[in-house]
Amino acid sequence: MPLVITITEAGRKFRSRELSPETFLEGLLDRIQRENPKINAFYEVFWDEARHAAAQAAAEFRSGLDRGPLHGIPIGVKDLYDVKGYRTTAGAHPGFHPAPAIEDAVAIARLRAAGAILVGKTATHEWAFGVSTNNAHFGPTRNPHDATRMVGGSSGGSGAALAAEFVLGALGTDTGGSVRIPASVCGCVGLKPTLGRVSTQGVTPLSRSLDTMGPMANSVDDAFLLLEGMCGFRPQETIVPRIVVPKGYFLEECDSRVVQLITRVAPVDSVDLGDVQAVWEANGVILLSDAASVHETRLREHPEWFGESVGPRLQKGMAHRGVDYARARDVQREWTARLDRVLGKDTVLAVPATPVPATVIGDREGPALSRVMTRFTSPFNLAGVPVLCLPAGRVDGLPVGMQLVAGTGQESLLRTAAASLHL
């Protein structure tokens, strides 16, 4: 039996006593101990706590207590979420590390109550402000598909942990694509829920107006089980939506082989999305301005503690004027209204997640890499709509992903759309 199976299959085996949560976890921990030093998916592993939780899950199953589909399931936690008793490093310089958290983030508390086993803290780009997870303070996280390649970001450790078969699920955050970019280049599933669906309480912010908490997994069903654990959302039955690939922006400045993978799944349609480039730029203005406000004191007191791919971008955020921010908000309102009209309750867009597969570590960093990798993801952060990233195929032997985009609050429609594609 492979180490990593679906959450549903693991749960069935736990309940039939065919497999013990303790035995299963030990297999994963053995693999992490051997492989994580090469991949750097985890910054910290909760060896003792995870084993204790697995033993507790096994005892509860024996006693007849069943906490639901996540009971006994090992997951990774992006090192932005507070976990009681552990430091939340946010991938930052050690001088910025806080004391150990005194309580769990809201999403973590809910997952604990659902019986999930927290395996450890996964790697992140510094302050979640980057798309490579080539961290100036913790070193690069390497792609299990090719160790010379990056894992995307900022939730790169979670993507790597799934690709390396360290866990069955993982948590990410998404402000400009930070769940979907790693999902795309690591070959897993990432779900950015509707803005506000999952509580941000207890999670280190990047942009308080754009941050979204989301799950990552190896199947669509597993991602939705994790979302249920994080916030209680349960998908409903829906009609099979109309799926279209919009002409223009989302098929431009993109590897032709990625375009071929996307356009094979649905008809290309002249959907009027307006000036999406302006939308991408507006998301950048808001994100940079919000991030600069979060870090203003740190920037002033210890500018030397920020890595080269992060510090200059935060300084740029400080330079945005109030009128720039206001105009970006105008673009946001217009874009959100346009997407509402286009999508309604019965249409899903299919677009690339990343225009290229994983790049070589260090080949491009900072703004240069962000311009490439957030081109197709961040417009949907600005609208706050839910997006599901699925594996679409491979280019040069490396995974690339496809985004399914639905209207606000229409996560269930995404699940139905994904099932209809039979990928």
Burial of 368 (0-12, 13-18, 19+ CB in 10 A): exposed
- For 253, which DSSP code? S
* Helix axes 7-15 and 220-231, enclosed angle (nearest 10): 80
Return the number of other C-beta atoms located less than 10 Å from residue 343's C-beta.
23
Alpha-carbon distance of 75 to 116, in angstroms, equals: 7
**Residue among 378, 379, 312 at smallest CA distance from 126:** 312
Stretch (H or E) spanning 127:
none
Contact yes or no for 389/213 (Cβ under 8 A) = no
**Residue among 332, 356, 339, 347 at smallest CA distance from 280:** 332
Contact yes or no for 54/25 (Cβ under 8 A) = yes
Helix (H, G, I), strand (E, B) or coil at 418: helix
Contacts of 392 by beta carbon, 8 Å cutoff, 6+ apart: 258, 261, 262, 265, 352, 353, 400, 401, 402, 423
List 173's β-bridge partners, or say none.
213
Per residue of the chain (423 residues), give pLDDT as tens.
345 799 999 999 999 999 999 999 999 999 999 999 999 999 999 999 999 999 999 999 999 999 999 999 999 999 999 999 999 999 999 999 999 999 999 999 999 999 999 999 999 999 999 999 999 999 999 999 999 999 999 999 999 999 999 999 999 999 999 999 999 999 999 999 999 999 999 999 999 999 999 999 999 999 999 999 999 999 999 999 999 999 999 999 999 999 999 999 999 999 999 999 999 999 999 999 999 999 999 999 999 999 998 999 999 999 999 999 999 999 999 999 999 999 999 999 999 999 999 999 999 888 999 999 999 999 999 999 999 999 999 999 999 999 999 999 999 999 999 999 976
CA distances from 335 to 181, 191, 193, 235, 302 (A): 22, 21, 18, 26, 37
CATH classification code of 1-423? 3.90.1300.10
Task: Return phi, psi of residue 235, to 5°.
Answer: -65, 145
> Strands 42-45 and 117-122: what pairing?
antiparallel
pTM for this model (two decimals): 0.97
Domain coordinates in residue numbering, the chain = 1-423
Task: Return phi, psi of residue 165, to 5°.
Answer: 60, 45
Angle of CA points 165, 50, 1, to nearest 5°: 35
Residues involved in catalysis: 78, 154, 178
